[in-house]
């Protein structure tokens, strides 16, 4: 008998939720890293597969190894590949520990890797692209932790001025009056590891177009384990689906022990059928592949129809 081949390392999960790609790997206790390339950000950096290097920002939710293990590698590879210095955004309590980690690597490698760390207190935000902001939101886990919301700020004419002639608006503006107001559009929320809490009452979390949330425990008997580890259980996701207006709710941080067939069964049993369409499991490669193939076929058919008309 020949020895068995080594187990394959997990592939990146991939979902296209127009106009955003959600890609990464997330397995509870092992590794979590989820990138939205269009927004220039990756959430967590528990591993650093090559595509992640293109993210100029990494929003770190907390310091557990499965979320933070590859932070030094991210900085070092970006430097090695000549991509430019990466930036990690983190809870203020993690800023010094990250400096300590990078300092330890300077000792190990006998060279310094350039890096940026930005501590973002809960409630504060940072502009990561033109008009696109990363906001830190308090979450509840066993260690200091943050969730993040990426939002777009759009300047819009004040509603009471809509329909006014252009000259009037110019006149008002020149007189120093504020004629616009800023709208905040939550695009993506990433909860990181968290238990149920005030986080899930916030309009920016509930209103995000894409809500990427952990769902560590699924089985009815695992409620207790979820609360000890300060994690979410599928029962929480059911509550969340009622409150959130997200077009897509992407589940991450499932345990490797839970077989994907079992995940689908548990979802079908717990989630009302009309809600199931907007629930995705990042690591359910087969279902997501099938969906993407359909998206490709639809796009092709649409292009053909256009060419014919
Ligand atoms: Zn974790
Ligand atoms: Zn954790």
- List pLDDT tens digits, range 271-302: 999 999 999 999 999 999 999 999 999 999 99
Residue 113, both tokens = 């890797």
Please identify which residue in the block is written with the tokens 């939710």. 61
CA distance 15 to 12: 10
- CB count, 10 Å around CB of 4? 6
153 membership: H or E segment, kind and range: strand 146-157
CATH superfamily of 13-302: Ribonuclease Z/Hydroxyacylglutathione hydrolase-like (3.60.15.10)
35 membership: H or E segment, kind and range: strand 31-36
- Give per-residue pLDDT as tens, 123-167: 999 999 999 999 999 999 999 999 999 999 999 999 999 999 999
The number of the ligand nearest the C-alpha atom of 215 reads: 1
The number of the ligand nearest the C-alpha atom of 29 reads: 1
Residues, CB within 5 angstroms of ligand 1 (ion): 66, 193
Among positive and negative, which fits the CA dihedral 136, 138, 140, 142? positive
* C-alpha of residue 195 to centroid of ligand 2, in Å: 10
Please report the pLDDT score of residue 105 as a whole number.
98
Report helix angle 234-243 to 260-270, nearest 10: 50
Cα atoms in the Cβ-side hemisphere of radius 13 Å centred on 171: 6
* C-alpha of residue 145 to centroid of ligand 1, in Å: 11
CA distance 195 to 126: 25
Q: Quick one: 203 exposed, middle or buried, by C-beta within 10 A (0-12, 13-18, 19+)?
A: exposed
């Amino acid at each position: 008998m020949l020895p068995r081949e080594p187990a394959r390392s997990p592939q990146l999960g991939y979902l296209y939720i127009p106009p955003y790609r959600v890609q990464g790997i997330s397995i509870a206790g092992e590794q979590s890293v989820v990138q939205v390339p269009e927004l220039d950000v990756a959430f967590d950096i528990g591993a650093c597969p090559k595509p992640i290097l293109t993210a100029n920002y990494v929003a770190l939710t907390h310091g557990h190894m499965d979320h933070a293990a590859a932070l030094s590698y991210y900085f070092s590879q970006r430097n090695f590949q000549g991509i430019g210095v990466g930036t990690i955004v983190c809870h203020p309590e993690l800023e010094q520990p990250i400096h300590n980690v990078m300092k330890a690597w300077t000792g190990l490698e006998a060279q310094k890797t350039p890096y940026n760390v930005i501590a973002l207190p809960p409630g504060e935000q940072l502009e990561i692209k033109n008009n696109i902001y990363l906001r830190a939101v308090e979450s509840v886990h066993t260690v200091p932790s943050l969730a993040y919301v990426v939002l777009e700020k759009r300047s819009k004419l004040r509603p009471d001025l809509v329909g006014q002639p252009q000259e009037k608006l110019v006149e008002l503006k020149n007189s120093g009056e504020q004629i616009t107001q800023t709208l905040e559009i939550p695009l993506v929320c990433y909860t990181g590891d968290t238990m149920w809490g005030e986080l899930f009452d916030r309009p920016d979390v509930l209103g995000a177009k894409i809500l990427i949330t952990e769902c560590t425990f699924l089985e009815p008997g695992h409620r207790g384990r979820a609360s000890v580890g300060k994690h979410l259980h599928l029962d929480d996701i059911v509550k969340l689906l009622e409150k959130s207006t997200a077009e897509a709710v992407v589940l991450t941080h499932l345990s490797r022990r839970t077989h994907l067939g079992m995940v689908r069964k548990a979802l079908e049993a717990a989630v009302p059928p009309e809600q199931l369409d907007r629930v995705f499991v990042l690591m359910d490669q087969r279902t997501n592949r099938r969906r993407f193939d359909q998206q490709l076929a639809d796009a092709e058919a649409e292009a053909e129809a256009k060419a014919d008309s």
